[in-house]
Amino acid sequence: GGDGGVTATDERSSTGVADDDLEAVGDAGDSIGDADTGDPATDRRDDGGGTTSIRPAGPALPGLLDLSDEPIPNDDTVRTGELSNGLRYYVRRNDNPGGKADLRLAVRAGSVDEFGPSTGTAHFVEHMLFNGTERFPENELIDVLRSFGASFGPDINAYTSFDETVYSLVVPNDDPTVELGLDVLAEWLSAATFDPAQVVAERGVVLDEWRVRTQTTTGRLFQIAGEMYLGGSPYEGRLPIGTDDSITTMEDAELRAYYDAWYRPDNVALIVVGDIDVTATEADIERLFGDEPTPDEALRPRPDTRFDLPVAPDFRLHRDPDQQTVDVEVTLPLPAFTSDGLAAQRAELLDVVVFDILVQRLQRDLAEGVAPFDDVTQGSNSFVSGLDAPALYAFTDADRVRDTLVALLDEYQRAFVHGFTPAEVEISAAKVRALFETRFEGRTSTQDRVYGDALVEH
């Protein structure tokens, strides 16, 4: 904070991490992990020999009484398939808002999958794909994208996280335009050019983004969090934005090597949601992507990104000249469940209920005037696959930092020793039930983007 801040971890066990909607039940705040790092958990790894092994479902957590992991049935309104080259696709008709189609190309590779000397390579590759492809050179690609009547940001976007890179286009739903949008995604998958002169020119653009993302209070806190939670893991030193030194010396050869390693049909998923003809779209996917060959060499082995249980508490203090308040955060970092089954969902729901109760207790202290902080909320530092790091996040001032830290630790300890009352659990669980009931009642008005995000996560 302005005069001092604390970020701490506690070694006691908690359960899984909530998604954005579920965090809202617990009045989740913006923790330093809430960056643009969307991250689907994966339960499969290629061993480098072309075979796939299944990861353990997750840790056996105290208090998670039912560890059964029955699969959650797939949505039968989603047309799924796999081409002979390994590309998987998910197509869903949705007429809300209608007249549009949401296209995604999800690449299962992010900054943790970089293998060259530079950092930020995955993100730089993402930038370069907007600089043109073999069929659509730079200016032609921009013209094609703008011909959709779309604008960069709302309709044309991409992001790179630690674990994935995702491209999205929102286009009119007429067949020729959807086909053209799919053609652009096909070019991004297999026909990037990486012109050396354009790579040099793009360094300045990426460096400007690096300044915006890192040279701020939030950016500095995120780097500290990365050092704290990711040290000793394959993620260490692999922040998606990279470093200024790597950005200013990035070369086309390293970008090409990363692209060739990960941008291949058997490492991507294609998602189409919108007011479309599902059968016609499936035929377009087969025609535009089916002839792309799978490379002869086996997919490069991904790093083992599983997390171990922490064995000791840890903490960081950070004084930042641009922050006026003092934030005190206590996180419970754990390995996350990485399956798609009920155990992961159960852990997620338990996490929401547990932290909602903790926040409600602390807010009662605040209402009674006995709390040493001005506000408290639920946070999260679960910003990479495999890390489950829910948190309590309090706002105070420099004179009350110690008392605030003690108050958060005391509340964890009280729950650890005494648990929760049936009334507390029922009140919090009722909020979760209400959320799902509202979602179910509004299921006919679910936006394309929501379905697209869920399928990317899957």
Nearest to 355 by CA among 322, 327, 389, 384: 389
Nearest of 260, 271, 269, 338 to residue 299 by alpha carbon:
260
C-alpha 17/C-alpha 337 separation (Å) is 9
CA distances from 13 to 34, 64, 316, 329 (A): 22, 10, 20, 16
Give the whole-angstrom CA distance, residue 389 versus residue 31. 11
Give the sheet arrangement for strand 390-396, strand by strand: 314-317, 6-9, 326-331, 390-396, 375-380
- β-strand partners of 45: 53
106 close to 268: Cβ distance less than 8 angstroms? yes
Cα(68)–Cα(342) distance, integer angstroms: 7
| Candidate list 23, 114, 126, 187, residue with the active-site label | 126
Q: Is 126 a catalytic residue?
A: yes
Output the DSSP codes for 209-274: HHHHHHSSHHHHHHHHHHHHHHTTSTTTT--TT--HHHHHT--HHHHHHHHHHH-SGGGEEEEEEE
* φ, ψ for residue 30, nearest 5 deg: -85, 100
Cα-based distances in Å from 419 to 23, 65, 164, 371: 21, 14, 38, 21
- CB 42 within 8 Å of CB 384: no
Terminal Cα distance for the chain, rounded:
37
Which residues does residue 80 pair with via DSSP β-bridges, in sequence order?
Answer: 90
H-state helical runs in 107-174? 121-129, 138-147
Catalytic residue annotation: 126
